[in-house]
Amino acid sequence: MTRAQIIEQIGKKKSYLCVGLDTDIAKIPSHLQIADDPVFEFNKAIIDATKEFCVSYKMNTAFYEAQGVKGWESLEKTVHYIGDEHFKIADAKRGDIGNTSDQYAKALFETIPFDAITVAPYMGEDSVKPFLQFAGKWAIVLGLTSNKGAKDFELQQTGNGMLYEQVLQTVSSWGTLENLMFVVGATQTDEFTTIRKIIPNHFLLIPGVGAQGGSLKEIAEKAINKDVGILVNVSRAIIYASNGEDFAEKARSVAKKYQQEMMSFL
């Protein structure tokens, strides 16, 4: 999916919502557990309920890898079911020496047709570049995360500002506005002004709204650019809004609420 197509979908739906399909089989409603593929049946119902309110879906691959071959099958079926109208993100946080990253990219861009992969930049340019070689595909590089461990490295002062600032500055030169995004945690709103000075035009994937407590209002005030330029991910607050047979209906209601709030900031 191209940048223009993402912007078009945001404008069409008046939304920059990304729904996180981080599906834990232990949390799937009991009436679905008898299905041949409970994870896929759950995902399919969530997608049907939320697709008009969001522009993207993000799947944390760990929740699928934990189920072995069956989990990979659920993941692949989910990606195909979503289709081409929504931006599909593999939250895999890959990043290794070049030939290994090349295989990661092929696995999650070709074998399973995601639009984007989250990437860890710690090993440097040759570990990120392979993800930038596929037309219409994106690397979403970890910039500044919401977890408490961010202070251990990302928020450490260096001779040129904080480490995360150096990462944004350096990595932004490796790709373009058409194939490179950055992950910035929703709870790091104090840093958004600085981030937008470094990368004013790049898209940001912003997790941490909902269960983690990030504020949509603060994000909108500090991170939106002329193209909107953000995708805000909400996972648990939507997909686990109910654990009963009404789970999809409740998910739809919560997704609609987020979309309406987002629309008020556009």
**Which residues are marked as active site?**
93
Nearest to 48 by CA among 261, 242, 251: 251
Token reading at 25: 């089989």
Helix (H) or strand (E) holding 230: strand 230-234
By the 10 Å C-beta count (0-12 exposed, 13-18 middle, 19+ buried), 149 is classed as exposed
Residue for token pair 């919401």: 146
Pairing label, strands 161-162, 230-234: unpaired
Sign of the C-alpha dihedral computed for residues 136, 252, 40 and 62 taken in this order: positive
Sign of the C-alpha dihedral computed for residues 18, 232, 69 and 43 taken in this order: negative
Cα-based torsion angle of the residue sequence 129, 133, 135, 137 in order, rounded to the nearest 10 degrees: -40
Which residues sit opposite 141 in a β-bridge? 119, 182
Pairing label, strands 157-158, 161-162: antiparallel
